[in-house]
Amino acid sequence: MSNDLDDIFNDDLPPDHRSGFVAVVGRPNVGKSTLINRILGQKIAIVTNKPQTTRKRQLGIYTQDNGQVMFIDTPGLHRPHHKLGEYMIEVAEYAIKDADIILWVLDVSTPPQESDMYIADTLMRLRDDAPVILVLNKSDLIGQNADLTAHTNLIPHLQAMRVSAMTGAGVDDLLNIVIEHMPLGPRYYPADQVSEVNMRFIAAEIIRERIIENTEQEIPYSVAIEIEEYKERSDDLTYINATIYVERESQKGILVGKNGNMIKQIGVEARQALSEATGTRIYLDLHVKVLKDWRSNIPLLRRLGYRLSREDDN
């Protein structure tokens, strides 16, 4: 870090200031994004009731006087079934390898599943010396004396913390433990910054979130969003032109809907959410196009921003 950045971000920091990266992992739909949004006090990651919502690495930056923690929201760890799935797993695995601490979020309202065993094996293989904290999420749905031995026996861990990402119970205690075990280090980002993503990324994620919430079956998992144009036309108006890609013509028909009703509803909800995010009025152009089998096509994945480190175009 340059001296200039040291001066900007690290003036008057206490000598015991701590900082580092925390990989937040778990199987799909256990509450990872909800937890990070709760910690930051605002929404940076989309949250739905459908699994595999998170596709790309998202960084949430939490800052207090004695520490700065970069929480990496990872795609849910699962066995991949296509190239997009391989990309999502690679994103999660890189986060594990680079982490100072790993938070494994478990849904304690249900017994451990086979996919949890897969995650335990993955963590043991990749985590190096990074300590694991078990986040026993959804504790508000079980009794105070519930036996969680099956969850805590999944892997050797530094600590197991009962929390509810939905209500916030136990989250402050979890944060204290995380910061306590962070290495000594500087502040990497300004204190008021909570994410590293730009508004084009946020716009695409908001549109995808509205699609996920309004559609069923295979549609949420077959959709990709490309922001063709993002322009602030005035202090009070933002223009966004977005293309929604699906894999088959039948999916396009479902997404457009009878008389265009589905895409209109998605547009109305996305405009409202984007207006709240930007503080401006939104002019939103949405178009639906077919990119056949894009989730298994490496050149198309690359074009849409999903790039594997080891690509094979054959």
User: Could you tell me the CATH number of the domain that includes residue 57?
Assistant: 3.40.50.300
Does 60 score more than 90 pLDDT?
A: no
* Closest among 56, 117, 122 to 93, alpha carbons compared: 122
More confident residue, 77 or 148: 148
Is 313 contained in some domain?
A: no
Is 45 contained in some domain?
A: yes
Is 250 contained in some domain?
A: yes
Are 169 and 237 part of one and the same domain? Answer: no
| Percent of all residues in the chain with a pLDDT value above 70, rounded to a whole number | 83
Are 24 and 111 part of one and the same domain? Answer: yes
pTM over 0.75: no
Are 217 and 275 part of one and the same domain? Answer: yes
Are 71 and 157 part of one and the same domain? Answer: yes
User: Could you tell me the CATH number of the domain that includes residue 208?
Assistant: 3.30.300.20
Q: What is the model's pLDDT at position 11?
A: 61
Average pLDDT over the chain reads 84
Does 52 score more than 60 pLDDT?
A: no
Answer with the one of 180, 212, 239 that is the final residue of a domain.
180
Are 115 and 158 part of one and the same domain? Answer: yes
Per residue in 232-277, pLDDT tens?
899 899 999 999 999 899 999 999 999 999 999 999 999 999 998 8
Q: Which structural domain range is residue 260 located in?
A: 199-303
* Closest among 221, 271, 268 to 247, alpha carbons compared: 221
Is 160 contained in some domain?
A: yes
Is 125 contained in some domain?
A: yes
Q: What is the model's pLDDT at position 218?
A: 67
More confident residue, 222 or 256: 256
Are 173 and 208 part of one and the same domain? Answer: no
- Are 93 and 126 a contacting pair, CB within 8 Å? yes
Rounded distance between C-alpha atoms, residue 183 and residue 244, angstroms: 42
Are 152 and 291 part of one and the same domain? Answer: no
Which of helix, strand or coil describes residue 9? helix
Q: What is the model's pLDDT at position 87?
A: 65
Rounded distance between C-alpha atoms, residue 194 and residue 191, angstroms: 8
Q: How far is CA 301 from the centre of its chain?
A: 19
Does 201 score more than 70 pLDDT?
A: yes
Are 58 and 133 part of one and the same domain? Answer: yes
Q: What is the mean pLDDT of residues 79-98?
A: 70
Answer with the one of 146, 180, 214 that is the final residue of a domain.
180
Per residue in 155-165, pLDDT tens?
999 999 999 99
Is 310 contained in some domain?
A: no
Q: What is the model's pLDDT at position 46?
A: 46
Q: What is the model's pLDDT at position 193?
A: 83
Please give the tally of structural domains in the chain. Answer: 2
Q: What is the model's pLDDT at position 96?
A: 85
Are 168 and 206 part of one and the same domain? Answer: no
Q: What is the model's pLDDT at position 290?
A: 93
Least confident range of 25-29, 194-198, 231-235? 194-198
Answer with the one of 110, 145, 180 that is the final residue of a domain.
180
Are 225 and 90 part of one and the same domain? Answer: no
